[in-house]
């Protein structure tokens, strides 16, 4: 019985010890999963902050936009600034408007389509920026458990091989290897769960923001269209 | 993005360091301190198949020699050992009176030694001599006389050469005239011839006469039987008359014929080999393939397959019977399977039953009696052709 004696189980079963004991494949998997988790959380934090800012910016812009201030003035204040969200859409539309009227546009119909195109482009660019790294969250959420499982399977395989070589089936010999292998799955789940939750929340948030911006773009398009019609009527 | 990354890294570092401290050493499960039970794995054969032997002996490579059972009481056994026949009783010194019984004892004694020589000498000497030996004792009516004489003879033991001569005179006194006359001469001649050789040996050792007389009782008793077998011709002539005299009851004769040697204790058949580890009797042994075949052969030899059974297809019959230690059939022969109501089937079953009964004493290894005490034999006519 002496050779099976369990020497301080605690010392061998701490998480750090488990990590150190693992084979290099499992270590690689664990490190990769850890990095993925760090990146996931970085994205989550970043997006949360970005969306909060975006919402704030949208609110402020809408407030300013509907305050009755003249569009020319607003454009002048915003043109030389770096704008995001609705501001960017507004600036893009106004720029197209200005260009057409300063050179004396012939067809008001063509102007309308050009403005719509410019606003669509700006909206798409904004949405792209908003949803930029959510794809990584989705990937992590779906793939991390599998990667962790892979690490576990490899770990259990190697530990069983070691057990077979040691010709001892005592539980205290079998357990550490399995615990160590399961650590990989644990890390995988640790990375995947927040990623999935965050992805769902952030993508719905981005959707809401996108809908809001689209609504603004439509409204602004309508306003500009009315303006074009008025200008055409004045000329005629 | 930088803020997100830094916060994430900080967050992870915090969680991991927290985890390392809190999850580092899970408390060991409380395991009750149970003493380990020693478990020996014993093959079933150790329980079911036990060799006969000695419980306290060491296990030997060789299976046990037959362990000692109560020794058979062999009436005359004197020797100890594995022989089934024991011969050559050792000298029992109390046999002194024996020379007394046989006045003519000495003559027969030399005879066995003479045998080669007697061939040189005239023919019928061997047979006549025993005759006087046996018949001399009965004939003398004055029994007292006979006894004293041996006493005298016993004294002059050193010279047994002279003894034969006194003996023949008694014969002469007896009714039988012609033969004794021939005998003494022949005997005397034979003895005289021998004595030069024997005399040298005999006088040396006083006890020698005692040694010789022993074969004599045996010869004396058996004399009559062998004589007639060996050489009927002279005996018929000589013994025809004495026989009538034999019929007379003579207590002396009986006493002469009695073996007065003390029986020695029995003790035959004790093995000198060491017993091997084993039980009181052999159990669970199986008949080997060759032994099974032997039994099958013995049964088949007596089996007359009923006519028509050969082509009747499936006429298998299983019979069960019991055998005793000697291999003889005990009790009825039961038909276990086969043997339906159909005529052919019944015939097959009956033939099997008859076969078992007819071959009854089977020769099977006696030490495996447990294995063949109950036997089931399958008779399959289709395998016979």
- CA nearest to A11 within chain B: B25
Mean pLDDT in residue range B193-203: 48
Across the interface, whether the CB atoms of B8 and A10 are under 8 A apart is answered no
What is the pLDDT confidence band of residue B105, given thresholds at 50, 70 and 90? Answer: very low
Contacts of A11 in chain B (CB under 8 A): 25
What is the pLDDT confidence band of residue A66, given thresholds at 50, 70 and 90? Answer: confident
Across the interface, whether the CB atoms of A14 and B24 are under 8 A apart is answered yes
List phi, psi (to 5°) of B71: -65, 140
Mean pLDDT in residue range A75-104: 78
User: Residue A94: its pLDDT value, please?
Assistant: 83
User: Residue B44: its pLDDT value, please?
Assistant: 73
Across the interface, whether the CB atoms of B7 and A42 are under 8 A apart is answered yes
The helix, strand and coil proportions of chain B, stated in percent and rounded to the nearest 5, come to 45, 10, 45
List the single range of B5-14, B20-29, B168-177 with lowest mean pLDDT.
B168-177
Across the interface, whether the CB atoms of B1 and A42 are under 8 A apart is answered yes
**The B374-379 sheet, strands edge to edge:** B329-337, B317-323, B374-379
What is the pLDDT confidence band of residue A189, given thresholds at 50, 70 and 90? Answer: very high
What is the pLDDT confidence band of residue A148, given thresholds at 50, 70 and 90? Answer: very high
Could you give the CA distance from residue B21 to residue B251 in angstroms, rounded to a whole number?
120
User: Residue B297: its pLDDT value, please?
Assistant: 82
Tell me which H or E stretch contains B321.
Answer: strand B317-323
User: Residue B88: its pLDDT value, please?
Assistant: 59
List the single range of A171-180, B32-41, B82-91, B108-117 with lowest mean pLDDT.
B108-117
Picking from B4, B9, B24, the nearest residue to A49 by CB comes out as B4
Residues 6 or more apart whose Cβ sits within 8 Å of residue B375:
B295, B320, B321, B322, B323
* B36 contact A CB<8A: yes
User: Residue B374: its pLDDT value, please?
Assistant: 84
Across the interface, whether the CB atoms of B3 and A45 are under 8 A apart is answered yes
User: Residue B349: its pLDDT value, please?
Assistant: 81
Contacts of B4 in chain A (CB under 8 A): 41-47, 49
Interface test mutation site (partner B, options A1, A5, A7, A14, max chain B beta carbons within 10 A)? A14
Could you give the 3-state DSSP secondary structure of residue B279? strand
* B39 contact A CB<8A: no
Could you give the CA distance from residue B231 to residue B127 in angstroms, rounded to a whole number?
7
Tell me chain B's radius of gyration from C-alpha atoms. 42
Could you give the CA distance from residue B34 to residue A214 in angstroms, rounded to a whole number?
74
Residues 6 or more apart whose Cβ sits within 8 Å of residue A150:
A29, A184
Kindly write down the DSSP assignment for every residue of B189-257, as one continuous string.
Answer: HHHHHHHHHHHHHTTT-TTHHHHTTTHHHHHHHHHHHHHHHH-HHHHHHHHHHHHHHHTS--HHHHHHH
Mean pLDDT in residue range B332-356: 79
Which of A151-155, B137-141, B148-152, B268-272 has maximum average pLDDT? A151-155
Q: Which of A96, A108, A130, A109 is nearest to A214 (CA)?
A: A130
Q: Which of B151, B158, B143, B161 is nearest to B106 (CA)?
A: B161
Across the interface, whether the CB atoms of B23 and A45 are under 8 A apart is answered no
**pLDDT tens by residue, B210-228:** 444 444 444 444 444 444 4
Residues 6 or more apart whose Cβ sits within 8 Å of residue A28:
none
Half-sphere exposure of B384 (CA within 13 A, CB side): 25
User: Residue A196: its pLDDT value, please?
Assistant: 93
Q: Are A83 and A188 in contact (CB under 8 A)?
A: no
Q: Does residue B34 carry a pLDDT above 50? A: yes
Could you give the CA distance from residue B252 to residue B144 in angstroms, rounded to a whole number?
11
Greater confidence (A161 vs B209) lies with A161
The β-bridge partners of B283 are: B50
Contacts of B18 in chain A (CB under 8 A): none
Q: How many C-beta atoms surround the C-beta of residue A137 within 10 A? A: 27
Could you give the 3-state DSSP secondary structure of residue A5? coil
What is the pLDDT confidence band of residue A147, given thresholds at 50, 70 and 90? Answer: very high
Chain B nearest C-alpha distance from A175 (Å): 12
The β-bridge partners of B277 are: B54
Chain B nearest C-alpha distance from A46 (Å): 4
What is the pLDDT confidence band of residue B138, given thresholds at 50, 70 and 90? Answer: very low
List the single range of A93-102, B181-190, B338-347 with lowest mean pLDDT.
B181-190
Could you give the 3-state DSSP secondary structure of residue A8? coil
Q: Does residue B264 carry a pLDDT above 60? A: no
**pLDDT tens by residue, B302-320:** 887 776 665 666 677 888 8
List the single range of A130-144, A190-204, B358-372 with lowest mean pLDDT.
B358-372
Each domain of chain B, given as residue ranges in start order, spans: 98-257, 289-384
The helix, strand and coil proportions of chain A, stated in percent and rounded to the nearest 5, come to 85, 0, 15
Length of chain B: 385
Distance of alpha carbon B226 from its chain centroid, rounded?
26
In the stretch 4-33 of chain B, residues with CB closer than 8 A to chain A read: 4-9, 11-12, 19-20, 23-28
What is the value of pTM for the model shown?
Answer: 0.43
Picking from B8, B9, B26, the nearest residue to A13 by CB comes out as B26
Could you give the CA distance from residue B331 to residue B322 in angstroms, rounded to a whole number?
7
Q: Are B326 and B362 in contact (CB under 8 A)?
A: no
Q: Does residue B180 carry a pLDDT above 60? A: no
**pLDDT tens by residue, A29-63:** 889 999 999 999 998 998 898 899 888 888 888 88
User: Residue A24: its pLDDT value, please?
Assistant: 86
Contacts of B24 in chain A (CB under 8 A): 10, 14-16
Q: Are A13 and A171 in contact (CB under 8 A)?
A: no
List phi, psi (to 5°) of B39: -120, 125
Torsion, Cα A72 A78 A80 A86, to 10 degrees, reads -120
Q: Distance between terminal CA atoms of chain B?
A: 98
Across the interface, whether the CB atoms of B12 and A44 are under 8 A apart is answered no
Could you give the CA distance from residue B263 to residue B162 in angstroms, rounded to a whole number?
33
The CATH code of domain B289-384 reads 3.30.1150.10
Residues 6 or more apart whose Cβ sits within 8 Å of residue A106:
none
């Amino acid at each position: 019985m002496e050779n099976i004696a369990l020497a301080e189980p605690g010392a061998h079963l701490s998480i750090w010890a488990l990590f150190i004991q693992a084979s290099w494949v499992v270590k690689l998997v664990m490190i990769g999963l850890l990095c993925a988790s760090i990146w996931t959380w970085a994205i989550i934090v970043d997006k949360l902050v970005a969306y909060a800012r975006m919402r704030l910016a949208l609110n402020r812009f809408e407030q300013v936009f509907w305050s009755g201030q003249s569009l020319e003035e607003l454009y002048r204040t915003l043109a030389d600034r770096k704008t995001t969200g609705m501001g960017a859409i507004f600036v893009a539309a106004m720029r197209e408007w200005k260009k057409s009227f300063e050179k004396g546009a012939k067809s008001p119909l063509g102007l309308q389509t050009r403005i719509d195109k410019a606003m669509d482009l700006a909206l798409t660019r904004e949405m792209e920026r908003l949803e930029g790294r959510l794809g990584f969250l989705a990937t992590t959420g779906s793939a991390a458990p599998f990667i962790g499982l892979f690490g576990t399977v490899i770990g259990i395989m190697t530990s069983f091989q070691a057990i077979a070589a040691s010709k001892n089936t005592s539980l205290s010999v079998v357990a550490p290897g399995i615990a160590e292998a399961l650590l990989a799955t644990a890390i995988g789940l640790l990375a995947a769960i927040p990623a999935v939750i965050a992805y769902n929340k952030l993508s719905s948030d981005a959707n809401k923001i996108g809908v809001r911006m689209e609504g603004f773009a439509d409204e602004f398009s309508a306003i500009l269209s009315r303006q074009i019609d008025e200008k055409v009527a004045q000329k005629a | 993005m930088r803020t997100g990354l830094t916060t994430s890294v900080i967050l992870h570092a915090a969680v991991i360091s927290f985890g390392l401290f809190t999850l580092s050493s899970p408390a060991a499960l409380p395991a009750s301190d149970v003493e380990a039970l020693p478990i020996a794995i014993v093959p079933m054969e150790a329980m079911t198949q036990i060799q006969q032997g000695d419980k306290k002996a060491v296990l030997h490579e060789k299976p046990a020699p037959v362990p000692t059972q109560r020794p058979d009481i062999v009436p005359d056994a004197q020797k100890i050992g594995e022989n089934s026949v024991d011969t050559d009783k050792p000298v029992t010194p109390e046999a002194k009176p024996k020379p007394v019984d046989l006045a003519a004892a000495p003559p027969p004694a030399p005879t066995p030694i003479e045998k080669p020589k007697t061939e040189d000498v005239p023919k019928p000497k061997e047979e006549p001599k025993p005759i006087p030996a046996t018949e001399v004792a009965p004939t003398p009516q004055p029994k007292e006389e006979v006894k004293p004489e041996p006493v005298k003879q016993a004294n002059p033991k050193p010279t047994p050469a002279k003894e034969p001569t006194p003996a023949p005179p008694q014969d002469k006194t007896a009714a039988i005239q012609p033969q004794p006359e021939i005998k003494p001469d022949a005997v005397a001649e034979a003895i005289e011839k021998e004595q030069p050789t024997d005399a040298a040996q005999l006088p040396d050792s006083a006890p020698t006469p005692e040694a010789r007389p022993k074969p004599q009782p045996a010869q004396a008793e058996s004399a009559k039987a062998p004589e007639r077998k060996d050489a009927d011709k002279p005996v018929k002539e000589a013994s025809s008359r004495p026989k009538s005299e034999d019929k007379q009851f003579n207590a002396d004769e009986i006493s002469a014929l009695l073996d007065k040697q003390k029986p020695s204790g029995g003790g035959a058949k004790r093995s000198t080999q060491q017993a091997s580890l084993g039980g009181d009797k052999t159990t669970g042994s199986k008949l080997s393939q060759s032994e099974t075949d032997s039994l099958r052969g013995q049964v088949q030899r007596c089996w007359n397959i009923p006519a028509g059974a050969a082509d009747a297809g499936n006429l298998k019959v299983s019979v069960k019977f019991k055998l005793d230690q000697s291999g003889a059939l005990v009790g009825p022969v039961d038909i276990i399977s086969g043997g339906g109501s159909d005529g052919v089937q019944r015939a097959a079953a009956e033939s099997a039953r008859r076969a078992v009964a007819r071959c009854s004493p089977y020769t099977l290894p006696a030490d495996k009696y447990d294995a063949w005490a109950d036997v089931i034999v399958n008779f399959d006519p289709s395998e016979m052709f």
